[in-house]
A and B are shown apart, each in its own frame.
Chain A
Amino acid sequence: GESVGLHLPTLSVQEGDNSIINCAYSNSASDYFIWYKQESGKGPQFIIDIRSNMDKRQGQRVTVLLNKTVKHLSLQIAATQPGDSAVYFCAESFGSNYKLTFGKGTLLTVNP
């Protein structure tokens, strides 16, 4: 079947390098953001989240940066590994709205 990775922006990195995946979000009122990872044939997997009252949050090997001025979100992956190869989505929500709005995704390919 057709992969969800087709027609997506792509990022290709070497194993061990740091990766930066960007996302421009649409709603200046959004107050919660999530990054998901989706491997081929699987459901989206939660990676990290951040609330709008923060501009940086760190997890294990991942960091999310939020720039509300330009409505930009980024996901940094340190020491990228082949297992990090996947499609990465950002999602946003706002106010009392519990519905998430998803970006189209970026395909990350890690070369050994």
Chain B
Amino acid sequence: DAGITQSPRHKVTETGTPVTLRCHQTENHRYMYWYRQDPGHGLRLIHYSYGVKDTDKGEVSDGYSVSRSKTEDFLLTLESATSSQTSVYFCAISFQGTSTDTQYFGPGTRLTVL
């Protein structure tokens, strides 16, 4: 998994509770991404980061926030979880962030919001 770990790997939570997912990389890559994967939708970008404290929105960012206080960690927060946020969340990294730069994925976090 290209030196990427995600925690927790599984989580069940209740509607309205805050949730934070962590992505940790050991490769010192500049670019990090959060995706969600749902049946019928494939992988969709939530947020990405192009450096420490530099983040931007993806196509499905509503209801999510991110933070990156150091190169190796990228946190995804659901401020108040909803059932529609039940999904599998993947973190990815890339070295340069150019259009021809491969993204490598972590093992995923399965989140269930009851």
Contacts and interface: CB of A to CB of B under 8 A. Distances in A.
B1 interface: yes
Given A4-B39, A102-B43, A103-B42, A96 B110 contact: no
B84 interface: no
B110 A104 contact: no
Interface residues of B, number: 30
A99 B102 contact: no
Interface string B44-68: 1100100000000010000000000
Nearest to A100: B103
B42 A51 contact: no
Interface stretch (A11-19, A60-68, A69-77, A87-95): A87-95
B108 A99 contact: no
Main secondary structure of the interface of A (DSSP, over half): loop
A7 B107 contact: no
B13 interface: no
Given A98-B97, A104-B40, A43 B110 contact: no
Contacts of A31: 99-100
A86 interface: no
A4 B37 contact: yes
B83 to A, nearest CB: 14
A96 B97 CA distance: 9
Contacts of A46: 102, 104
B90 interface: yes
Contacts of A36: 105
Interface of B: 1, 31, 37, 39-45, 48, 58, 88, 90, 94, 96-108, 110, 112
Closest 8 CB pairs of A and B: A43-B105, A98-B97, A102-B43, A32-B100, A44-B105, A102-B42, A104-B42, A93-B99
